[in-house]
Amino acid sequence: MGVRRTAAGNASALRRNSPEPYPPRSLEDFPNMDAMVNPAGPGADSLIDVGDLHFTVASQAGEVNILRGITLRIEEGEAVGVVGPSGSGKSTLMMLLGGLDRPTRGTVRVAGHDLGALDEDALARFRRDHVGIVFQSFHLVPTMTAEENVAIPLEFAGARDAFGRARAALESVGLGHRIRHYPAELSGGEQQRVALARAFVAEPAIILADEPTGNLDRATGAQVIELLFALRARHGTTLVLITHDPDLARRCGRIVSLADGRVVSDRPVLPEAA
Ligand SMILES: Nc1ncnc2c1ncn2[C@@H]1O[C@H](COP(=O)(O)OP(=O)(O)OP(=O)(O)O)[C@@H](O)[C@H]1O
Ligand SMILES: [Mg+2]
């Protein structure tokens, strides 16, 4: 299965360890916010650099301006929670960061790539080399086993021993006993753990997660989140986590709030003072 293409990108060179502060404390009156939000400084290259991003779609009712001027920089190793009301543009922003949509106006630079300038093939290579995505509804391929689903990104990268590494990734999420199961034969929590294994298996620099616990009960969701943060810590991955859960957002080092297609607040989260 899969199409063998060129060798895997050097995504791991982009990563560094930066454990998010936890537990968080309140940030009222926190000084020097800009320096915290953009620790690399205004001139430095950020892993994710979004400039005046607009995204408009045509619908029967006319044009819909979904994103209306988003500017945002995320540094290597950060964990950023993205919150905001339903319809505020969170999932749309994630699609643009992941190269699954293109800006109408403005720029999305990720890992040095100007995504608006890439053609479909180049975008596919970008995703393969730099990004792992976790969706609310798991998005596993129903006709493939857990092992095959996890092997997909490695197969696309032409990596050696894709299936051995897929099995190891499944073991790391506690599913070593389910590798030959199809998605329909797995519980929701198990399916999301397969999706986590798939997202991390090629060691991307960035994980984008859109309400990864939205379809899970509370206890199962909590287990999936523990796993997500453990994997992120192990691999030093930059994380963009969309959530409606304020407690979950506060597990990230920083919280970006969207409303009506704009960033309305962007704050670091610090541990409680001892
Ligand atoms: N193809 C489309 N055509 C028209 N409008 C769209 C389209 N896709 C999304 N929208 C609108 O864009 C807005 C933002 O959608 P998006 O899915 O990004 O919101 P969200 O913040 O992720 O919401 P939720 O928390 O409910 O998942 C919504 O008002 C939605 O109706
Ligand atoms: Mg959404």
What's the domain range around 84?
78-104+118-269
Closest CA to 212 of 244, 256, 237: 244
Residue 118 — φ and ψ, nearest 5°?
A: -90, 145
Rounded to two decimals, the pTM is 0.84
Ligand 1: does its nearest atom lie under 6 Å from the Cβ of 268?
no
**CATH number where 255 lies:** 3.40.50.300
Distance CA 259, CA 262 (A): 5
Please provide the DSSP assignment of 218-259 as one string.
HHHHHHHHHHHHHHHHHHT-EEEEE-S-HHHHTTSSEEEEEE
In a domain, 176, yes or no: yes
Ligand 1: does its nearest atom lie under 6 Å from the Cβ of 91?
yes
Distance CA 258, CA 50 (A): 14
Ligand 1: does its nearest atom lie under 6 Å from the Cβ of 92?
yes
Report the pLDDT value the prediction gives residue 185, as an integer from 0 to 100.
Answer: 98
In a domain, 252, yes or no: yes
**170 contacts 197 by C-beta, under 8 angstroms:** yes
Residue owning tokens 């006319």 = 62
In a domain, 153, yes or no: yes
Q: From atom 25 of ligand 1, which residue's Cα is the shortest distance away?
A: 86
In a domain, 62, yes or no: no
**How many domains does one find in the chain?**
1
Residue 59 — φ and ψ, nearest 5°?
A: -135, 175
Residue 165 C-alpha to ligand 2 middle, in angstroms?
31
Residue 105 C-alpha to ligand 2 middle, in angstroms?
21
Residue 78 — φ and ψ, nearest 5°?
A: -70, 155
Residue 89 C-alpha to ligand 2 middle, in angstroms?
7
In a domain, 17, yes or no: no
Which of 66, 67, 90 to mutate for ligand 1's pocket (most ligand atoms within 8 Å of CB)?
66
Ligand 1: does its nearest atom lie under 6 Å from the Cβ of 66?
yes
Q: From atom 10 of ligand 1, which residue's Cα is the shortest distance away?
A: 66
In a domain, 202, yes or no: yes
Distance CA 192, CA 184 (A): 12
In a domain, 123, yes or no: yes
**234 contacts 61 by C-beta, under 8 angstroms:** no
Ligand 1: does its nearest atom lie under 6 Å from the Cβ of 89?
yes
Query: Looking at the CA of 85, which ligand is closest?
Result: 1
Residue 209 C-alpha to ligand 1 middle, in angstroms?
16
Please provide the DSSP assignment of 149-170 as one string.
HHHHHHHHTT-TTHHHHHHHHH
State both tokens at 31: 């000084």
Distance CA 199, CA 251 (A): 20
Report the pLDDT value the prediction gives residue 44, as an integer from 0 to 100.
Answer: 63
State the burial class of residue 97 (Cβ atoms within 10 Å of its Cβ: 0-12, 13-18, 19+).
buried
State both tokens at 81: 């929670």
Distance CA 161, CA 52 (A): 42
Residue 85 C-alpha to ligand 2 middle, in angstroms?
9
State the burial class of residue 65 (Cβ atoms within 10 Å of its Cβ: 0-12, 13-18, 19+).
middle
In a domain, 41, yes or no: no
Ligand 1: does its nearest atom lie under 6 Å from the Cβ of 167?
no
In order along its 274 residues, the chain shows pLDDT tens digits of: 443 333 333 333 333 333 333 333 444 444 444 444 445 455 568 999 999 999 999 999 999 999 999 999 999 999 999 999 999 999 999 999 999 999 999 999 999 999 999 999 999 999 999 999 999 999 999 999 999 999 999 999 999 999 999 999 999 999 999 999 999 999 999 999 999 999 999 999 999 999 999 999 999 999 999 999 999 999 999 999 999 999 999 999 999 999 999 999 999 998 764 4
Which of 92, 104, 135, 243 to mutate for ligand 1's pocket (most ligand atoms within 8 Å of CB)?
92
Q: Give the number of C-alpha atoms closer than 13 A to the C-alpha of residue 27, restricted to the C-beta side.
A: 19
Report the pLDDT value the prediction gives residue 272, as an integer from 0 to 100.
Answer: 63
